[in-house]
Structure 1
Amino acid sequence: MTKSTENHQNRPPYRLADVKETARGRWPEILRALGVPESYTDTRKHQPCPSCGGKDRFRFTDHKQGGGFICNHCTPDGGSGFDLLMLVYGYTFAEAVKAVAVILGLDGGHIAPSVAKIPPKPADTEQDGKRRIERLLTLWAECLPWNTDGMIGDYLYGRGIPLPEKLPVSDGLRLHKRLPYWHEGRVLGHFPAMVGLFQDIAGKPCGLHITYLQTASYNDLPVKAALFDPKNRERLPAKKMRSAGAGSLTGAAIRLFEPENGVLGVCEGIETAFAARYVSGVPMWACGSAHGIQSLVLPDGIRELVIIADNDTNGTGINAARALQRKYQKGLDSIKIWQPDTMGADALDVLAAQVQKGAAA
């Protein structure tokens, strides 16, 4: 199968422009159908932000019928309905678009006659939040140091990092030897997993980033687990995020390396963070997604920031990097953005290629 054929098969059965046009004027229904509490779609009042809290800093405007909103604290420039889904659930942009396409009936090639009427999920109570964080901390406590038995190191080596075990990794990354993979209420199996800890600006745990692994048959190195829906055989994600609550991952990051002399680098993925640390020596944090980069809240003491952005065809990566740059351009001594030259390139692939070139030199 040629690469172009693979890309065609992996392309979603809808265009972004079609999703935007079909969603126009229907955002309150769409957001409620996806479980966003109805109060967040009320254009008549200011209220607490679903991400950063407060009392009245958030307002749903539905600007130009595009699901728009403004948070005076974390999103002063405003955002769209897709951005709101990213804010509430920690979605990537692609995941937000897909969720809306499914609700609109576009994911299967047919437009639904009306938006599905699904009762909105109630907002988390304080007791709900405590239970969720307790479950996260219990899972985290089950994990072992990241370099236990070399599985994560071997996985990263297979992704292009020559000596991951030599890097000064923090306790923000661990290994779970046998983690269940849940899908639609059933366990599809138990797998080893690379687990990253999201921490908020105060350093408190607020979520987990989980990458399920399995051993490849062709070289015995760990790879991302190949998982499929037992009903339709569609590929399931090998990576999952678990949060302490709606919006709790906004502003947070996986602190893989300790900042040095006020210098910090940020990127989307854990693997990219390892490659960047190996190539540049800059201590890196992984934000989990482009939205994670855009919304990141830096702790005190950071003077110089390096942002690594994927060169997404829709500009999501570079736009997120520039948003973070704008947020801190007056408060830091230096902010640099790096991204691959090739459109559609993944930063990890380019950085790993540099690693291999350096190793071979």
Structure 2
Amino acid sequence: MSFFKAEKVREAASSNWLFIVSALAPHAEAALKKPGRHVSCPIHGGKDGFRLFKNFLETGGGVCNTCGPRHDGFELLMWLNNWDFKQTLDAVGEFLSVEKELSWKEQQQQNQNQYRNQKAKACVNGGYSQPAPAQSAPRPQTPAQPSPAPAPAQAETNVVSLSREQSKPWLMELQEEMERRAERQKAYSAKLQGKIVRIWEEECMPMSSDLVEPMRAYFQNRELLFRWDVVEESDCVRFHPSLSYYDEDGNEVGKFPAIVCAIRDKEGNLVTLHRIYLTPTGKKARVPEPKKMMPVPDDLTVTGAAIQLGVPNEGILGVAEGVETALSAYRATQIPVWATVNATLMEAFEVPKGVHTVLIWADKDKSLTGEKSANVLKARLERMGIQVFILVPKMPIPSRAKGVDWNDVLMSQGKFGFPGARYLRDFIERRAADGSV
């Protein structure tokens, strides 16, 4: 049977994902009308558990706070409609009227038909006719084959045409607005790297400055009290006294004190910045997203990068999601812990040279997102010959909370809620010696 070639459908889908998802997943309309903004999740409900990526027009991707990212439109539709890849490919191909590829058997049949037609035409043009084929004995009748069973209900896509979707005024207006936004984003991206360097090098001040009281208060409220000069050696945490906060439409909401963290690749090169907006008294600022990562310049990647809190020693390094979690484990064990900012980036974390053992201080979530990402990272690093140990908080998750992390442990139990540094080192040495890692 003929089929859709994935590369051809992907090419046709680029810049058409707004129309595609609107037609094939109408229950995602709320998100389509507010691209880049948090809205109710089309799968789990709630208020703000889902958003489409800002480059949705080109990629078709989005992220669910519970299930994680869907990197392109195919993954998104598979998740939204509970389809497999072939169902999704067929639905998108039909919607875009992409020409199907012939199967090998169909190509053979087509070639034979073309050959017969050309031969017959040559015979007519040459002035003689083709002899009639000899009559063959009648072929025995074979029992009729039962018709294939109908596809399951979930495979039905009710595909409509692209032209029909393009006739909807609100979709066309939104498409034009997203295209204008994409152009503005390109202009912004061209200046982005210079802006990142300027904020970090010219506008931020070191942790040892006397003017960083909001940052000190924020950390003190989370029991993060230890010698900051040790953290400052890696130069990944600074303070900005008045950093602009922009909403999802790019409008400046105001200026706030902020903790600014450098996200670096494993060679130490600055990739982008992570910001925690504060009040003057060290609380989280009253803004929609007090924790925000700046965009990544087009020629760089944040994959594998981290906030490098401390310098690894003895070949042992800790990894956590949030800055607060990383600093909590660092304070309790005196073993440097790097923060990957979120669970998705944890899975892709790249270990620097000289590290033979990684301690993953995993978040304990009701959705199991933190533990799943920790296990993905563990499996990948172990294939590289690196020892990996996952540590999950033992404390229960409160009924109204989404989860707990190691900063919650530090605040409720102090250092006694953590394995000690000497115990961890001895444990690692014993496991390495008996080959049970």
After TM superposition, give the deviation of residue 239 of structure 1 in Å: 1.2
Instruction: Verify the 8 A CA contact 1:278 1:355 in the aligned structure 2.
Output: no
- How far apart, CA to CA, are the structure 2 residues paired with 1:302 and 1:122? 43
The answer to whether 1:275 aligns with 2:328 is yes
- How far apart, CA to CA, are the structure 2 residues paired with 1:303 and 1:115? 53
- How far apart, CA to CA, are the structure 2 residues paired with 1:164 and 1:244? 31
After TM superposition, give the deviation of residue 211 of structure 1 in Å: 0.7
| Structure having the higher Rg | 2
Instruction: Verify the 8 A CA contact 1:275 1:352 in the aligned structure 2.
Output: no
* Other-structure match for 1:192: 257
* Other-structure match for 1:132: 192
Instruction: Verify the 8 A CA contact 2:60 2:76 in the aligned structure 1.
Output: no
The aligned amino acid for 2:244 is P
The aligned amino acid for 1:143 is C
* Other-structure match for 1:209: 274
Q: Report Cα offsets for 1:94-133 as digits up to 9, x if no partner.
A: xxxxxxxxxxxxxxxxxxxx978534636987x9755211
Instruction: Verify the 8 A CA contact 2:328 2:406 in the aligned structure 1.
Output: no
Q: Report Cα offsets for 1:265-299 as digits up to 9, x if no partner.
A: 11111111111011111101111001111111222
Aligned pairs for 1:229-240 (under 5 A) are 236-240=288-292
After TM superposition, give the deviation of residue 147 of structure 1 in Å: 2.9
* Other-structure match for 1:172: 236
Bigger share in strand = 1
- How far apart, CA to CA, are the structure 1 residues paired with 2:392 and 2:190? 39
The aligned amino acid for 1:137 is V
* Other-structure match for 2:110: none
- How far apart, CA to CA, are the structure 2 residues paired with 1:188 and 1:258? 36
The alignment covers a number of residue pairs equal to 265
Q: Report Cα offsets for 1:211-233 as digits up to 9, x if no partner.
A: 111134xxxxx121123xxxxxx
1:284 corresponds, among 334, 337, 348, to 337
The answer to whether 1:348 aligns with 2:411 is no
The aligned amino acid for 2:217 is D
Instruction: Verify the 8 A CA contact 1:308 1:337 in the aligned structure 2.
Output: yes
- How far apart, CA to CA, are the structure 1 residues paired with 2:390 and 2:411? 18
Change (3 A) 1:225 1:18: closer
2:360 corresponds, among 294, 307, 331, to 307
TM-score by length of 1: 0.63
- How far apart, CA to CA, are the structure 1 residues paired with 2:237 and 2:358? 22
Change (3 A) 1:164 1:271: farther
- RCO higher in 1 or 2 (8 Å CA, sep ≥ 6)? 1
* Other-structure match for 2:56: 36
The answer to whether 1:334 aligns with 2:387 is yes
1:161 corresponds, among 224, 228, 242, to 224
* Other-structure match for 2:319: 266
Secondary structure of the 1:253 match is coil
- How far apart, CA to CA, are the structure 2 residues paired with 1:129 and 1:302? 34
Change (3 A) 1:255 1:192: same
The aligned amino acid for 1:334 is Q
- How far apart, CA to CA, are the structure 2 residues paired with 1:122 and 1:326? 40
Instruction: Verify the 8 A CA contact 1:273 1:285 in the aligned structure 2.
Output: yes
Change (3 A) 1:283 1:67: same
After TM superposition, give the deviation of residue 15 of structure 1 in Å: 6.8
The aligned amino acid for 1:348 is N
Change (3 A) 1:64 1:325: same
Change (3 A) 1:309 1:16: farther
Instruction: Verify the 8 A CA contact 2:238 2:259 in the aligned structure 1.
Output: yes
- How far apart, CA to CA, are the structure 1 residues paired with 2:283 and 2:54? 32
The answer to whether 1:242 aligns with 2:294 is yes
* Other-structure match for 1:104: none
Aligned-residue Cα RMSD (Å) equals: 3.6
After TM superposition, give the deviation of residue 158 of structure 1 in Å: 1.0
- How far apart, CA to CA, are the structure 2 residues paired with 1:254 and 1:159? 19
Q: Report Cα offsets for 1:161-201 as digits up to 9, x if no partner.
A: 23353644321111111112222343332221110001123
Secondary structure of the 2:266 match is coil
After TM superposition, give the deviation of residue 17 of structure 1 in Å: 4.6
Q: Percent identity?
A: 27
Change (3 A) 1:181 1:14: closer
The answer to whether 1:143 aligns with 2:204 is yes
The aligned amino acid for 1:210 is R
User: Structure 2: which 5+ runs fail to align?
Assistant: 1-38, 62-70, 89-169, 398-402, 418-437
Instruction: Verify the 8 A CA contact 1:172 1:256 in the aligned structure 2.
Output: yes
Instruction: Verify the 8 A CA contact 2:257 2:280 in the aligned structure 1.
Output: no
> Which sits farther off after the overlay, 333-342 or 242-251?
242-251
After TM superposition, give the deviation of residue 237 of structure 1 in Å: 1.3
Change (3 A) 1:128 1:180: closer
The answer to whether 1:182 aligns with 2:246 is yes
* Other-structure match for 2:16: none
Secondary structure of the 2:319 match is strand
Secondary structure of the 1:211 match is strand
